[in-house]
Structure formats: structure tokens, C-alpha cells
Amino acid sequence: MADSVRSTNSGLLARLNLNSDGRPHPMLNAAAFFALIVGLFAFAIGLFIRTGPSSIHVWAIVAAVTGLTSMLVGLFGQMLSATREERVILVVGIIAGFIGLALGLAHGGFS
């Protein structure tokens, strides 16, 4: 039963590793971080247009487009993801992108 116990490093780099299966996935990792960063940007812009003045139509379009982009990249990455760590980052990016998209659409994005 020695094979069932996985030895891990207790260092910081072992906790930040997205490739827990031991194989590198550079494109999936890049897609996960892209969905996270763009989704958080869409979320922040959506909150800005929600609390800011009502005459900011350009920012509503930006929030809607970045939210939709984050959702599409995140959902495609979710289908191809190989590890749990990638899926966690992708889901956070998808949710943040969805909220940014919804707030952008609510304030006139795509119209």
C-alpha cells in the first residue's frame, strides 16, 4: 500500500502548482488564468457601472464583452481541464465573468 500515499513537498511552490497530475498543461493553465483575470476585470467594471453615474454606456459594453469572453474561454477550458486546481480557477473566472456580463447587459451593453 505504499503506492496509495503521495509524498509532497511542504514548500510554497508545491501549493501553487496547478499540475497535480505530474504532467505540464501550459495552455490550460494560461486559459485558466486568462478566464480568472478577465472575469475579475469584468466583475470590477460591472460593479463600477452599477454604482457610478448612469451615463457610462461604453463601460457597460466593455463589461459585457469581457464577461462574455471570460465565460466562453472558461467554459471551453472547463471541458478540457485535467486537474482539480485548474477547475477551481476556471469556475471562479466563469462566475466573475457571468456577473460582469449580467451587470453590463443590465446597464445597456450590446444595445
**pTM of the predicted model as reported, rounded to 2 decimal places:** 0.81
CA 8 – CA 22 distance, rounded (Å): 12
Q: What is the pLDDT of residue 96?
A: 97
CA 96 – CA 8 distance, rounded (Å): 32
Question: CA 65 → CA 80, 84, 104, 109, distances in Å?
Answer: 23, 27, 8, 8
In the chain, how many H helices and how many E strands?
A: 4, 0
Report pLDDT digits (tens) over 24-78.
889 999 999 999 999 999 999 999 987 777 667 889 999 999 999 999 999 999 9
Reduce the DSSP state of residue 24 to 3 states and report it.
coil
pLDDT(5) > 80: no
pLDDT confidence band for 104 (50 / 70 / 90): very high
